[in-house]
Chains A and B, each alone.
Chain A
Amino acid sequence: GQQVMQIPQYQHVQEGEDFTTYCNSSTTLSNIQWYKQRPGGHPVFLIQLVKSGEVKKQKRLTFQFGEAKKNSSLHITATQTTDVGTYFCAEVIIQGAQKLVFGQGTRLTINP
Chain B
Amino acid sequence: DAGITQSPRHKVTETGTPVTLRCHQTENHRYMYWYRQDPGHGLRLIHYSYGVKDTDKGEVSDGYSVSRSKTEDFLLTLESATSSQTSVYFCAIGGGGGMGEQYFGPGTRLTVT
Interface extent on A, as a size class?
20 to 34
Interface extent on B, as a size class?
20 to 34
* A102 in contact with B44 (CB, 8 Å): yes
Most chain B beta-carbon neighbours within 10 Å: one of A9, A42, A103, A105: A42
Interface residues of A (CB under 8 A from B): 1, 6, 9, 31, 33, 41-45, 48, 88, 90, 92, 96-105
* B42 in contact with A104 (CB, 8 Å): yes
* B100 in contact with A105 (CB, 8 Å): no
CB distance from A54 to the nearest CB of B (A): 13
A contact patch SS: strand
* B43 in contact with A88 (CB, 8 Å): yes
* Chain B minimum-CB-distance residue to A104: B42
B105: which A residues are within 8 A, CB to CB?
42
Assuming the contacts A100-B95, A102-B42, A105-B42, asked whether A42 and B48 have C-beta atoms less than 8 A apart, the reply is no
* B50 in contact with A96 (CB, 8 Å): yes
A6: which B residues are within 8 A, CB to CB?
42
CB distance from A97 to the nearest CB of B (A): 5
